[in-house]
Structure formats: structure tokens, C-alpha cells
Amino acid sequence: MSIVMLPHLAYGHVSPYFELAKKLSNKGFQIYLCSTPICLESIRNNLMISSSNNIIQLIDLQLPSSFHQELPPHYHSTKNLPPHLKNTLLAAFDASKPAFSDILRNLKPDLVIYDLLQPWAGEAAREQNIEAVMFLTCGGMNSSAAPESPYSLDEELSEAMLDTVNGITTQERCTRSFVAAKMVLIKASREIIGGDCLSMIPQLEMVPIGPLVPKPQDHDDDERFMNWLNKRNPSSVVFVSFGTEYFLSQQEIEEMAYGLELSGVDFIWVVRFHGGSNIRSIHEALPGGFLERIEGKGMIVEGWAPQAKILQHSSTGGFVSHCGWSSTLEAMVCGVPIIAIPMQLDQPMNAKLVVDIGVGMEVPKQNKKLVRKEVASVIRRVVVEEEGKEVRRRVKDLSERLKKKEDEEFDKAAEKLVKLVQQSGNHK
């Protein structure tokens, strides 16, 4: 059985789609993972598919050349994309429907798995009588984008739902995406999301497939991080990262820096700047004298760190996170308590879930702004103080339950996909 997969053009979406592709290919499915060349670049580098393993093939989707002047190929991904080009990228992706339709005509797959913000992918499949399934890389409770979701959106996300590109609001995109799907796969476990999420659209089956947390890859620079962590006490270090999609403002960088310093807890902090940023270096961005003062206590790295390996290390005792869904699940699977600092989109709801199930605490903001004393206080409560003991226990317990359930949930989902195609009568 062959499947074409089309994620949204963001690393936080492409990565889970690739994990899903690997797990499906292990069950004998022929997978075609389709995206722009820049989005597939990291997968090509990591995968190094041997010539004997052709069960996952990467398919380049070219965005229309009419957009290239404003949106050169290295911006055909949300990673490092200057914020003012976000809507342009979505418009260009919409305009790639004819190219995607051609790919489907050539490959003639049994099934298309597509993402939330591109309803046209599901519609393109239907036009060619191919079954279409949506894969949500955000959590079940974040399916608040669904037409009949029981979850209320926070103010910022409600506004984002009204963003309009090509005359379509984000809310309309989401609704159309659900309508085009025969089934919805959710990157989550029943251990995390309740039945409310799975029955929010009565006529549509919502299927959890497990956390899909990637196994750590080996990179040349890993040793530097591991050696640093090896010298720390068990559960004594916080890892700080806000993902690939959010870039801290100058003020947020300062409050975060002073907050980490005030906490007295050892840390590894990943700092990123977007493509349009005029900040040239970490030294320029951080408060004066900060790097000297935290020498031996903190490790600052620009751009990237081996997150999976760091979270799995015995010295890691907390994760200061924006609560992107993949990062949230990774922390849960690794049994690392979360210090939640949500910034945008679905992150406030993910943070609420983290607090509700007792595996982390959220850093309160003042007038929507980060405050150093609050950062320091919550880090200490979660990682060091007696108050965080129950959080630390709960996240370890959840980690065990997730690991036990993972294969069972995925196997059930894979069976449902096979049944869907067989019932359609399109299987070749």
C-alpha cells in the first residue's frame, strides 16, 4: 500500500510526519514524503537512505516560480523565515496545488495524509478518487481548530484564526481540512488526551497514534553537551529552548537571562535569531557581563542543540519550554518536568494541559511580559524545591505509561488505515 504525505512547511510538522513515515514504512507501507527541498534537507542529511531501502522516498514539491523573487527557495520553510513573509509562504504553498496534483497523478497512491492548514491537499486527493486522512501534529486538545471543539481558544489564537490568506481565514482552512478527511490521526496518546477530544466531531474518527518522539540522532557536536552534562548532579540541570518557530525579543532574552541567573540552577540555553534579525551575535543579545558571571553554571548555544539526547540525560531535571506540542510530548516521554512559557498559537493550551495533568508549572507573566523573578521562582520550584516533588513524580509515572502504550496505539492506527483503503475499493 502506498501513501503520499504532505506536511505543513514547518520543521515542527515535517519532523512528526517523518517519524510517522518511518513507523509506517516499518510495517511495509511504501511512503512518499513530499515537501519543499529546504524542508526535506535535514531529513535527507539525517536519513541517508541506503539504496536498499526505498520504502521511504522524498519527493520535492516546487513552489511556483512567480513567488521566488519575494520568497527565494531558502525561505520555502517557516524555519528562519522573517515574520513579514509568513502569509506569502502560505499563499505560495496554496498555489502549489497543481504541482501536488501532478505528483498524485504520477505516483497513484492508495492514500494521502495531509496537514491542517492545507485543505487543498485533501481536496486534490478526492478529485483523483484517492482516500485522504489528516494528521494533526498538535495535541488533541489543540484540535480546538475543529468546527465542534469543546475547547475555547485564547484571545491571541482566536485572532490568528481570523488571519486571511488568499481570501480564506485560518478558521475556514481548518474547517475545510476536517471536511476533506475520512479520518484524523492525532500525535498524542489516550494517556494524555481524554475522550472529549476524540469524539469532538461525531461523524469523523479521531485516532491517537502515540507521541511519535524521534530516537536521538548522532551529531558531531553531541559530545560537547554530553561531557558538560556528565559533570552535573542527577536532575540538576534545566534545558531551555523555545523551538524553531519562535524568536525571543531583546527584552525577553534579557528577562530569561537574569531569570536563569537568579534561579541558581545549572542550564543549557538554546538561543535563536530569525532570518530578518539585526542581532549579529549572542554576545550582542545577552546582558553585559552575563556570560562571565554564569561561567561554569550555564552553557549558551546558538541555533541548535541535541534536544532528545539532552532530555534523556540523567542530569536533566527540567525543561524550560514554549510548549510546542512535539517538545511537550518529548519531555513527557523522557520524564522531564516542564517549566512552561507559552508564546503563541496553540502553546497556551498545551501549557494548560501540562499544568492540568500535573507534569509541570507555568511561569506567570505580568501584562503578557516575561518577568525574571517569576522565571527564577518556577524553575526552582519545579527542579529543586519540595513543592515540585509531586510534579517530578507524576512526569516519571506518565513517562512509563506512555512507553508501555506506544506500540499498541500505533498498531491500531495502522490497521485502521489499511481498512479504510480496503473499504474504498481503490487499493491497487
Q: How far apart are CA 358 and CA 337, in angstroms?
A: 9
In a 10 Å sphere around its CB, with 0-12 CB exposed, 13-18 middle and 19+ buried, how is residue 426 labelled? middle
If we measure between CA atoms, which residue out of 103, 71, 104, 69 comes closest to residue 90? 71
CA distance to 127, 161, 186, 298, 405, per residue, from 198 (Å) = 28, 22, 9, 42, 17
* 237-241 vs 316-321, strand pairing mode: parallel
Q: Grid coordinates standing for 29?
A: 507501507
| Grid cell listed for 400 | 512509563
Active-site residue, 274 included: no
Residues with Cβ within 8 Å of residue 16, at least 6 apart in sequence: 7, 135, 137, 187, 212, 326
Question: Cβ distance 81 to 274 under 8 Å?
Answer: yes
Task: Supply 203's cell numbers.
Answer: 461523524
> Do residues 242 and 53 touch, judged by C-beta distance below 8 A?
no
Are 229 and 309 in contact by the 8 Å Cβ rule? The answer is no
For residue 97, give the nearest of 198, 189, 6 by alpha carbon. Answer: 6
- Classify residue 21 as left (phi > 0), alpha (psi -120 to 50) or beta: alpha
> Is beta strand 183-186 parallel, antiparallel or unpaired with respect to 266-271?
unpaired
Q: What CA–CA distances, in Å, run from 172 to 96, 140, 156, 169?
A: 19, 19, 17, 5
Q: How far apart are CA 375 and CA 261, in angstroms?
A: 10
Is 283 noted as a catalytic residue in this protein? no
8, 76, 94, 115: the catalytic one is: 115
Report how far apart, in Å, the C-alpha atoms of 424 and of each of 172, 182, 239, 411, 427 are. Answer: 27, 11, 47, 20, 8
Residues acting as catalytic residues: 13, 115
